[in-house]
Chain A
Amino acid sequence: TQLLEQSPQFLSIQEGENLTVYCNSSSVFSSLQWYRQEPGEGPVLLVTVVTGGEVKKLKRLTFQFGDARKDSSLHITAAQPGDTGLYLCACHSGGYQKVTFGTGTKLQVIP
């Protein structure tokens, strides 16, 4: 089973601060996804990255796929309380339909 390690596990920051969360594995991925899960809800897809070195931006969120396609990072600029949630990376493993999720980073942004 492919293991996706995310760090940090927990993060509590003040509104307006910047942060970066990481997703790492020893395996190479064809693609990697980032989801956000808010309390009481299921995860929602934020982005899919496919090409090594790729950078995608979604408003204040910047996603990067490592050159070797083994890792990814998510950077949030000027965090807002609405960014609070569980951030999960995910990859397809053992077949297109089998999605493996990372260990998660729980983010709390304090007003």
Chain B
Amino acid sequence: ETGVTQTPRHLVMGMTNKKSLKCEQHLGHNAMYWYKQSAKKPLELMFVYNFKEQTENNSVPSRFSPECPNSSHLFLHLHTLQPEDSALYLCASSQVGGGGDNEQFFGPGTRLTVL
């Protein structure tokens, strides 16, 4: 596997379900991100992890719970979601520091539908 991978690619869940999204980066980067992309809003940053430590929580509801066990893996645990949470959830990684431009490398996303 190369780049950034995400599983599952599609997920349908009820409002009472608990599910998790998985992201893995094979680029040796030190930062990982969760973004939400919905039809009527710009791409929104949700969480930032730098060297496994959460450095940003962009006012995300607690029904979204991130986990970063190491610098290559990132999870987004979902519980008691609402239909308005239906969206494309994108994971990204980047190499922070060293004078670069913090280019974000994105995975293909998980298309989530909440019924």
Contacts and interface: CB of A to CB of B under 8 A. Distances in A.
Task: Verify that A and B bind, or say they do not.
Answer: yes
Interface of A: 4, 31, 33, 35, 40-45, 48, 88, 90, 92, 95-104
Interface of B: 4, 31, 33, 42-45, 48, 50, 55-56, 58, 90, 92, 94, 96, 101-104, 106-109
A43 B44 CA distance: 13
Given A88-B43, A103-B42, A97 B106 contact: no
Given A31-B101, A42-B4, 18 more contacts: A40-B108, A41-B106, A42-B106, A43-B104, A44-B106, A45-B103, A48-B101, A48-B103, A88-B43, A95-B56, A97-B55, A97-B56, A98-B45, A99-B33, A99-B102, A99-B104, A101-B43, A104-B43
B42 A97 contact: no
A31 B101 CA distance: 8
B104 A104 contact: no
A47 B103 CA distance: 9
Nearest to A95: B56
Nearest to A97: B48
Contacts of B108: 40-42
A104 B42 CA distance: 7
A42 B90 contact: yes
